[in-house]
């Protein structure tokens, strides 16, 4: 049917946009390694939202389940998650992505500077990526989430809990999660400081040699 063909071609676009962005981020990471001898990215995960969760999201916001609505209103159909070693890497990577001249940044949400009430921390960028087809170029929306390993560990636990309790976790569980989020932040800060100290020390070594 026409609907199925349309769905397929739209999904193909999202998939292509993810492939393109994946390659871009890998190249930036490799360039970083060559230039600074530091590997800012631990790993990259990409995913495409299932049709069920797309429909759920549209319903939740009161939109009819059409392909037009999905492309227009659901910003995270294609998602890419970049897991970094340190908080400072997050902002570096975000800046490198922003400076790519064919990527257009539509919106940024910095949940690291302003965490969600739950304790959730992550840096979100909504961008469009041009996908070059044989007869036209299509700008495709992709949501990029950049976070540290510790933030990712916390977020996946929160996700499991929300899934189990369908968003209505008991108060003591929510409190515990917020406390854990504080520990995650403290850990990230200490790791960053330790890393800076090691860098300073190894610089002294080379300077003294």
Burial of 49-79, coded b for 16+ CB within 10 Å and e otherwise, reads: beeeebeebbeeeebeeeeeebeeebbbbbb
Three-state SS for 70? helix
| Strands (DSSP E) found in the chain | 41-48, 78-84, 104-110, 123-132, 137-148
The first and second tokens of residue 45, run together, are 């995960």
Query: One of 143, 166, 176, 179 is an active-site residue; which one?
Result: 143
Residue 143 a catalytic site member: yes
Contact 152, 83 (CB under 8 A): yes
Residues known to be catalytic: 143
């Amino acid at each position: 049917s026409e609907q199925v063909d349309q769905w397929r071609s739209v999904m193909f676009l999202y998939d292509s946009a993810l492939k393109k962005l994946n390659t871009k981020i890998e190249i930036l990471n490799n360039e970083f390694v060559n230039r600074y001898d530091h590997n800012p990215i631990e790993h990259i995960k990409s995913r495409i939202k299932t049709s069920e969760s797309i429909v759920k999201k549209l319903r939740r916001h009161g939109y009819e389940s059409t392909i037009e609505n999905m492309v227009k209103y659901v910003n995270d159909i294609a998602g890419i998650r970049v897991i970094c070693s340190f908080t400072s890497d997050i902002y570096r990577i975000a800046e490198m992505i922003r400076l790519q001249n064919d990527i257009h940044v539509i919106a940024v949400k910095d949940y690291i500077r302003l965490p969600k009430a739950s304790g959730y921390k992550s840096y979100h960028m909504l961008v469009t990526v041009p996908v070059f087809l044989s007869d036209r170029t299509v700008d495709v929306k992709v949501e990029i989430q950049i976070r540290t390993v510790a933030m990712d560990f916390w977020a996946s636990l929160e996700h499991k809990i929300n899934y189990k309790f369908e968003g209505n976790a008991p108060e003591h569980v929510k409190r515990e999660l917020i406390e854990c989020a504080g520990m995650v932040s403290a850990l990230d800060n200490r790791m960053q400081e330790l890393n800076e100290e090691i860098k300073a020390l190894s610089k002294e070594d080379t300077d003294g040699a």
